[in-house]
Amino acid sequence: MDLARLGCFLVFVALGLLAARAGPRPDARRWANLLIGYVLAVTAVVGLVQQESWPFTTWSLVSGTPARHMTSLEVEGLDATGRGWVVDLRVVQPLSPEELASWLKANEARLGPSGRESLGRFLLQRAEEGRQRFLDRGRAAPNQWLLGPADAPYHFHDAKTWRSTAQVPDSPFTALRAYFLEWDIDERYEDDRRVTRRLLFEYKPPSGDGRSL
């Protein structure tokens, strides 16, 4: 199987080089058509047999049986009065919220107290930096400085939680809570309120009382 994958890759590279070297010659279109046809054919075979052959992929993320039970991450920052504010997860860029949630879901059981403290410290710092940035310059994402509202969304995440300054506190975040929102697709389709909010951890800097909330 590994030899077959290597062969597919070498043929792909060879056809690409031949197409590139053809340049403006009359047979250039023929080599380009061969390369395109080869890519389409191998991609179709890889999809049918569901065997990865880099750079040809099965796209298993979107080609498998759709999941019925969904999970998403929600982070809540707390101000000095204890009021909770939902944090715009664009503050974790260049990490995408989906990647952070997937990692946390896979490693939740083995994080331990020190791991939760480290993650809480990171998220609280990013949330506070994002809060200040949003109030000062109107943007939550650190990577939005160049294109502003015209920047492309990260992965599947296009939710802009913070749309006005009324959605963030004037004073700094002093603590943080992280939740998993979990729901069944069919049940939530019937009633959008059917979402379970499961607390993952709470974090307050040691400078407060020396322990988690």
Look-up of token digits 């250039």: 28
Provide the pLDDT confidence category of residue 210 given band limits of 50, 70 and 90: very low
Contact indicator for 203, 123 with CB cutoff of 8 Å: yes
Top pLDDT among 195 and 160 is at: 195
Residue 96 and residue 17 share a domain: no
Provide the pLDDT confidence category of residue 22 given band limits of 50, 70 and 90: confident
Contact indicator for 179, 202 with CB cutoff of 8 Å: no
Name the residue range of residue 114's domain: 69-209
* Pairwise CA distance, residues 189 & 80, whole Å: 37
pTM: 0.68
Residue 51 and residue 14 share a domain: yes
Top pLDDT among 28 and 35 is at: 35
78-100: per-residue pLDDT in tens?
999 999 999 999 999 888 888 89
Residue 50 and residue 11 share a domain: yes
End-to-end distance of the chain based on CA atoms, in angstroms? 53
* Pairwise CA distance, residues 166 & 168, whole Å: 6
Specify the pLDDT at position 4: 80
Nearest to 162 by CA among 75, 72, 92, 88: 88
Residue 80 and residue 167 share a domain: yes
Contact indicator for 118, 110 with CB cutoff of 8 Å: no
Residue 135 and residue 115 share a domain: yes
Report the C-alpha dihedral over residues 95, 96, 97, 102, rounded to 10 degrees. Answer: -90
CA-based torsion, 96, 98, 100, 103: positive or negative:
negative
Q: What is the CB neighbour count within 10 angstroms for residue 74?
A: 19
Q: Stretch 26-30: mean pLDDT, rounded?
A: 75
Residue 116 and residue 17 share a domain: no
Residue 123 and residue 192 share a domain: yes
Domain count within the chain: 2
Residue 40 and residue 145 share a domain: no
Residue 21 tokens, joined = 């070297």
What's the DSSP call for residue 175?
Answer: E
Provide the pLDDT confidence category of residue 57 given band limits of 50, 70 and 90: confident
Q: What is the CB neighbour count within 10 angstroms for residue 198?
A: 11
Residue 152 and residue 94 share a domain: yes
What's the DSSP call for residue 66?
Answer: P
What's the DSSP call for residue 210?
Answer: S
Provide the pLDDT confidence category of residue 213 given band limits of 50, 70 and 90: very low
Question: Among 53-67, 123-137, 179-193, which is the least confidently predicted range?
Answer: 53-67
